Amino acid sequence: MKTKDIMARLQAKYPGESEYLQAVQEVLESIEEVYNQHPEFEKAKIVERMVEPDRIFSFRVTWVDDKGEVQTNTGYRIQFNSAIGPYKGGLRFHRAVTPSMLKFLGFEQTFKNALTTLPMGGAKGGSDFDPKGKTDEEIMRFCQAFMLELWQCIGPDQDIPAGDVGVGGREIGYLYGMYKKLAREYNTGVLTGKGATWGGSILRPEATGFGALYFTQNLLHHAGKDIKGCRVAISGFGNVAWGACTKALELGAKVVAISGPDGVCEIPDGITKEMIDYMLVMRASNRDRVEDMATRFPDKARFTAAKKAWSVKCDIALPCAFQNELSEDDAKELKENGCWCCCEVSNMGCQPGAIHFFQHNGILFAPGKAVNAGGVATSGLEMTQNAEHISWSGKEVDEKLHFIMNNIHEQCVKFGTQPDGSVDYVKGANIAGFMKVAQAMLEQGTI
Ligand code: GLU
């Protein structure tokens, strides 16, 4: 297998699908050497099969807004790979959603889910619906209209969606309500991220952020460092950033910045519990403005418009917002600002130039598919609880999550340790995830 040849074919076939091509290129580059040591993979054309989704559903979603006007969006579900379990992955509601974006996310999800050690295949879905400025009633009507089509593609042993950007507990509630009505199935295991009183796992909302910090702790320990007292810059203020802030504070780190599409809030003395709680209010308002934090806490947070979290002096950077949010220039600025570690929490949050810069300038770096896998891992734990009709305590879920994140870190070290003793976490995560999926595909024959 030659990455160059496969990429040339995909570029010709899917011109303009830049996010998808970027994600495939990153994985293929890092697995090429190992892949070529396995002629059985080459014979079964594993890579050629793995880069194509199993199937893509696309549908029209029509709903009525509060003014009585008819609105039409496009919905998607991309079932990417089922080699190690039923399709599993989130739904993203964002104005920029395209098939390319969801293909990249579904592809990444396949390897991420493999890393969790739980039996879950990869999928992703969503819509170009923009939740910004929408009322609760509009969100509900959209979710119901979306499920009117989606329900036929999913099932607790078939495909299990969850949240992602723009889809949280409220949206999962509306989606599940409509699913029940249409399918006449009362199995809560069809969606994860549900409310805690009706099948949701305790700690699922916190899980992505908590897992990211457990991974970061592991990475720092491996490098002989400690997170206590470190200054942490975080982008975003949604669910993932909220969980990351909560755990960072608990572990004794100081969160000195959070950001939004409007700019950055610098918090010189570190974020407080009260401010973290306020992030939930900001998210529920659908205003999508981080400036609201500085308005609410003027003596603690200083807002600067059109600046990123990476402009603030820090030790550790945690991108928690959107793909490609951290450019090579941002990486250089971070280094100048004293940053020595970046753990990518958003999916593909760093541009290739930024990753290259980190890796060649002594900055510890780990990719999203390893760092943020705690979210989907806890979804897997939610599925287990649903299947057994039981509910575990927060302590039990947290212990299992912690164990899984330690295991993911170990897999990265196993497959990513370089001759000089350093760990290439990109390589480690990609090879570990890939080997598991490739082996399963091989054992299941040419399908
Ligand atoms: N959207 C999350 C992710 O990117 C969670 C998916 C899930 O829980 O199924 O992994």
Q: Per-residue b/e over 294-330, b at no fewer than 16 CB within 10 Å?
A: beebeebbebbeebbbbbbebbbbbbbbbbbbbbbeb
Residue nearest to atom 10 of ligand 1 (CA): 376
3-class SS string, 215-254: HHHHHHHHCCCCCCCCEEEECCCCHHHHHHHHHHHHCCCE
Rounded average pLDDT over 281-304:
96
For the chain, the average pLDDT equals 97
Task: Residue 32: name the closest of 419, 426, 412, 343 by CA.
Answer: 426
Helix (H, G, I), strand (E, B) or coil at 168: coil
DSSP per-residue string spanning 185-221:
---GGGSSS--GGGTPPTTHHHHHHHHHHHHHHHHHH
Q: Is the CB of 375 under 6 A from ligand 1?
A: yes
> What pLDDT is stored for residue 264 in this prediction?
98
| pLDDT for the residue 266 | 98
Distance, CA of 75 to CA of 3 (rounded, Å): 32
**Whole-angstrom Cα distance, residue 383 to residue 189?**
5
Q: Please return the burial class of 130, using the count of CB atoms within 10 Å of its CB with bins 0-12, 13-18 and 19+.
A: middle
Nearest CA to ligand 1 atom 9: 89
- Report the alpha-carbon distance of residue 372 to residue 208 in Å, rounded: 5
pLDDT category at 362 given cuts 50, 70, 90 is: very high
Residue 1: predicted pLDDT: 85
Pocket of ligand 1 contains residue 134 by CB under 6 Å:
no
Using the atom order of ligand 1, give the atom closest to the CA of residue 164: 1
Q: What is the pTM of this model?
A: 0.97
Whether 97 and 125 have beta carbons less than 8 Å apart is answered as no
Rounded to whole angstroms, the Cα distance separating 340 from 315 reads 6
- C-beta 347 within 6 A of ligand 1: yes
- pLDDT (mean) for 413-424: 97
Beta-ladder partners of 88? 160
Between the CA of 36 and the centroid of ligand 1 the distance, in Å, is 31
End-to-end CA distance of the chain: 20
Q: What is the whole-number distance in angstroms between the Cα of residue 32 and the centre of ligand 1? A: 27
The two counts, helices (H) then strands (E), for the chain are 17, 12
Cα 106 to averaged position of ligand 1 atoms, centre (Å): 10
Q: Is 124 a catalytic residue?
A: yes
420, 224 Cβ separation under 8 angstroms:
no
- What domains can you pick out in the chain, each with its CATH number? 3-186 (3.40.50.10860), 207-371 (3.40.50.720)
343: confidence class by pLDDT, cuts 50, 70, 90? very high
pLDDT score at 253: 98
For the chain, the 3-state helix, strand and coil shares in percent, each to the nearest 5, are: 50, 15, 35
Is the pLDDT score of 280 beyond 90? yes
Only one residue has tokens 């306020």, namely 278
- The response to whether residue 3 sits with its C-beta less than 6 Å from ligand 1 reads no
pLDDT at res. 188: 96
Region 102-117 average pLDDT: 98
CB 286 within 8 A of CB 131: yes
Which is catalytic among the residues 88, 103, 112, 124?
A: 124
Q: Is 88 in the pocket of ligand 1 (CB under 6 A)?
A: yes
**Tens digits of per-residue pLDDT, 112-164?**
999 999 999 999 999 999 999 999 999 999 999 999 999 999 999 999 999 99
Establish whether residue 209 lines the binding site of ligand 1, counting it when its CB lies within 6 angstroms of any ligand atom: no
How far does the centroid of ligand 1 lie from the alpha carbon of residue 400, in Å? 17
Q: What is the mean pLDDT of residues 329-346?
A: 98
The pLDDT of 291-305, averaged and rounded, is 98
Which of 379, 382, 386, 408 gets mutated to test ligand 1 (max ligand atoms within 8 A of its CB)? 379
Q: What's the CA-to-centroid distance between 163 and ligand 1, angstroms?
A: 6
Q: Which two tokens stand for residue 27?
A: 């994985």
